[in-house]
Each structure stands twice: as structure tokens, then as C-alpha cells.
Amino acid sequence: MEWKGIRRLFNTMIRSYYFPTKLRLRALRLMGVKAGRGEIRAGVVISGPNLTLGTGVFVNAGTSLLNQGGIVLEDHVAIAPEALLLTTGHEIGPTRRRQGKLIREPISVGAGSWIGTRAVVLPGVTIGPGCVIAAGALVSRDCSPNGLYVGIPAKRVRDLPG
């Protein structure tokens, strides 16, 4: 089955609250996602197979992983409810249509990082290991390891122990 059909299956049946949580990662692996042991809660949207999940990854309900450009979540990454990781955007086009050519850029989240509720991570961003991205933050640039990032756009406000 091609990914379009698989995506439809995942985003209807497998992401359902009635589908057993313990089977969700197993189903994703069958669809081509590289995944260690972890937990993907119900209601998570995944838009393609270009996803790598390390061991101990936790993705909470309502999160969207729009991963056409590729997303890597290293070991023990935790993502709170309703976060949004976007790997696609558009170039700015001419006046007649500002939404220009589609661009795809990967997202990488380092081991042990925590992304807060309703945080948004934009295409091409690398979040270093041990970071905390505060709830509601908009991450548009790379984040150095072991930092607390808050705001719109997200800025490092504190160093965290390494």
C-alpha cells in the first residue's frame, strides 16, 4: 500500500482513541517509520513515513508531525499536547500569488529534549540535546544544547544543567 493510503489509515483508525496505544508504534513500523520503544498517544497526526523515533520518545495527544521533509526525534524526547512540527513551507512568490514554490527541510530534536504544549517548530530547525521549548513558543532557528527557549520567536532565556 502506498503512503497516501497508509496515511489515511493511520490518521483515521490507528490514531483513534479506540486503537490500543501499545500497538500504535508497531503499526507505524509496519508503515515504514523507524521507531524504538516509546509511546505515541491517540490523536497524533503523522503526514508521511519520513520519521525516525528514538527509544523512549513520548508524543502526546493532538500533536501534528507534518514530516514530508523528515523528522528525527532522538532518544527520550517528550512532546506535550498539540505541538506542531512542520517540515514544509513556501518560498515567497510574486504579487499575483505570494505562496511560492514548496520547500521541504528536516527537523531534528536532540536526545532528552522536551517540547511544550502548542509549541511550533518550523522547517529546517535543529533543537540540540537537553533543550526545553516552552509552551506556545515559535522555534524558527536552531537551538543550542541544554537551554530553555521561550517566546515568539523562541529565544534562549536560561542555560540548563548538562
The tally of domains found in the chain comes to 1
Q: Which residues are catalytic?
A: 90
How does pLDDT run along the chain (162 residues), one tens digit per residue? 565 666 677 667 778 888 888 888 888 888 888 999 999 999 998 887 799 999 999 999 999 999 999 999 999 999 999 999 999 999 999 999 999 999 999 999 999 999 999 999 999 999 999 999 999 999 999 999 999 999 999 999 999 998
Distances (CA, A) of 144 to 54, 113, 153, 156: 20, 11, 15, 9
Which pLDDT belongs to residue 7?
64
Which pLDDT belongs to residue 115?
98
Which pLDDT belongs to residue 74?
98
Residue 106, strand partner residues: none
Cell of 68: 514530508
Q: What are residue 5's phi and psi, to 5 degrees?
A: -70, -40
CATH of the domain at 33: 2.160.10.10
Q: 75 is in which domain, residue-wise? A: 3-159
Q: Is-cis flag, bond preceding 81, omega within 30?
A: no
Which pLDDT belongs to residue 22?
82
